[in-house]
C-alpha cells in the first residue's frame, strides 16, 4: 500500500516518531522540504528510546548516521531504505 508523504509524516508525528533529514550543509535539499537551521541531532532530543526515521538522498548517509546514533545509545533508529531517490522512483508525491 502506498501512502502520500504528508500522510506518512502525519502518522509518524502522531506516533511520536522523529523524522530526521540527513543532508550536508552544502547539499541542496529538495525544494519541497524546509531546511531548519539547527545543530545536527538537536531536534532528536535526549530520549534514546524515541523512534527516529532517517532519510537522505539514497540511504548510505542515513545508515552511517544510524550507526552513530546507535553508538550514542539510541535504540529505535530506522533508515528509510533507498532514501528520497527510491521514493521518487516509486512515483510517490512529495
> For the segment 34-53, what is each residue's pLDDT rounded down to a tens digit?
544 444 555 677 788 988 88
| pTM summary value | 0.71
**pLDDT tens digits, 69-78:** 999 899 988 8
- DSSP sequence for 28-84: PPPTTS------TTGGG-S-TTS-EEEE-SSSHHHHHHHHHHHHTT---EEE-TTHH
Q: Are 13 and 6 in contact (CB under 8 A)?
A: no
C-beta atoms surrounding 56 within 10 Å: 22
d(CA 19, CA 53): 5
> What pLDDT, on a 0 to 100 scale, did the predictor assign at position 38?
46
Amino acid at each position: 500500500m502506498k501512502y502520500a508523504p504528508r500522510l506518512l509524516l502525519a502518522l509518524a508525528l502522531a506516533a511520536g516518531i522523529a523524522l530526521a533529514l540527513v543532508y550536508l550543509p552544502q547539499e541542496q535539499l529538495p525544494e519541497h522540504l524546509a531546511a531548519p537551521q539547527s545543530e545536527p541531532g538537536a531536534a532528536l532530543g535526549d530520549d534514546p528510546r524515541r523512534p527516529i526515521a532517517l532519510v537522505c538522498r539514497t540511504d548510505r548517509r542515513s545508515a552511517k548516521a544510524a550507526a552513530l546514533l546507535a553508538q550514542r545509545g539510541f535504540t529505535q533508529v530506522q533508515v528509510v531504505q533507498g532514501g528520497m531517490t527510491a521514493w521518487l522512483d516509486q512515483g510517490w508525491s512529495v
